[in-house]
Amino acid sequence: MATVSYREALREAHREALAGDPRVFLMGEDVGRYGGTYADSKGLLEEFGPDRIRDTPLSELGFVGAGVGAALGGMRPIVEVMTVNFSLLALDPIVNSAAAIRHMSGGQFSVPLVIRMATGAGRQLAAQHSHSLEVWYAHVPGIRVLAPATIDDARGMLALALEDPDPVVMFEHAQLYNVTGELPDPPPRVDIAHAAVRRPGTDLTIVTYGGCLPRVIEAARTLAREGIEAEVLDLRVLRPLDIASVVESVRNTHRALVVDEGWRACSLAAEVMASLSEQAFFELDAPLARVCSEEVPIPYARHMEEAALPMPPKIVAAALRLCGK
């Protein structure tokens, strides 16, 4: 058992993938000499060389497109996009090509591509570097969308993503990179098909993912002091959604609160709530509720940024209302 950070777990996952399969290579802005914008690839250039660790020009459209082509050609590329906001420049190769090629070719071709990107706010980087757009990708058939929120998932999801014959988009919340935790040796094999219960409870289910997980855990501890035991369910796979696990939890607690750093309108939270209404309506003892980011571009000022995000006090207040307290 070793204490490692989220970024160190990611780095070890890359090292294992690169050492184990000569088809795997990493490409993106500053992934080589600089060691990665978030230091997640530090040292890999020296270990594996410039053919395997490739710094790219500042052109998401260009290097993501190159990753699609490399995957079609038999390689197993890992493409790092610095932040989800910049990934919008590469929507065409991701949505119109990578996600659609298996369908359009009648199953003759697949795109075994992994695209990693940072997401989320909380670092005073303002609107062009702070949004949570995971739901944009979770909307698209043909890709798998992952959101590792723990050390174990950061260490284990990459290998499974590389085994997938279709494109996988992996979102890493930027505030998680410095988080530390215990990692078993050897690391556990994780699951990229099912949600995970991170805290058991009987009074309320709180559904969340990614960077909101630590805030929800903090809120659940506060609720416990108020006599409310909240079950915390980490979706961790945003497409395909494991709604069955959400329904199972709600059948035990009979209340559900969804916490999502995305905006409320057309959010992932809305999809979870709609699915619960369809599949577990008569299990509910209270209306469904959600806590999302405010409907504004993420502000720069610290106090305004925090006011715009689903922070623990907002989560606690919503849970207390849901439980009639």
Catalytic-residue membership of 173: no
- Considering the domain architecture, whether residues 289 and 147 belong to the same structural domain is answered as no
How many folded domains does the chain comprise?
2
In terms of residues, how long is the chain? 325
The token pair at 304 is: 């305004």
pLDDT in tens, 65-122: 999 999 999 999 999 999 999 999 999 999 999 999 999 999 999 999 999 999 999 9
- Considering the domain architecture, whether residues 178 and 67 belong to the same structural domain is answered as yes
Residue 1's pLDDT is what?
80
Q: How many whole angstroms separate alpha carbon 119 and alpha carbon 38?
A: 12
Residue 188 within any structural domain of the chain: no
Residue 191 within any structural domain of the chain: no
- Considering the domain architecture, whether residues 78 and 207 belong to the same structural domain is answered as no
Q: What domain range includes position 9? A: 2-183
Residue 190 within any structural domain of the chain: no
Q: How many whole angstroms separate alpha carbon 292 and alpha carbon 264?
A: 5
Residue 2's pLDDT is what?
87
pLDDT in tens, 202-216: 999 999 999 999 999
The token pair at 311 is: 């922070």
Q: How many whole angstroms separate alpha carbon 274 and alpha carbon 207?
A: 13
Find the catalytic residue in 8, 29, 60, 80: 60
The token pair at 252 is: 């035990």
- Assess whether the previous peptide bond of 240 is cis (omega < 30° from 0): yes
Q: How many whole angstroms separate alpha carbon 311 and alpha carbon 309?
A: 6
Q: How many whole angstroms separate alpha carbon 205 and alpha carbon 132?
A: 22
Residue 266's pLDDT is what?
96
What is the DSSP track for 282-304?
GG-SS--EEEEE-SSPPPSSHHH
Nearby residues of 222 by Cβ (< 8 Å), 6 or more positions away? 312, 316
Residue 189 within any structural domain of the chain: no
Domain with residue 279: its CATH number is: 3.40.50.920
Domain with residue 148: its CATH number is: 3.40.50.970
pLDDT in tens, 305-318: 999 999 999 999 99
Catalytic-residue membership of 194: no
Find the catalytic residue in 8, 29, 80, 129: 129
- Considering the domain architecture, whether residues 23 and 92 belong to the same structural domain is answered as yes
- Considering the domain architecture, whether residues 219 and 166 belong to the same structural domain is answered as no
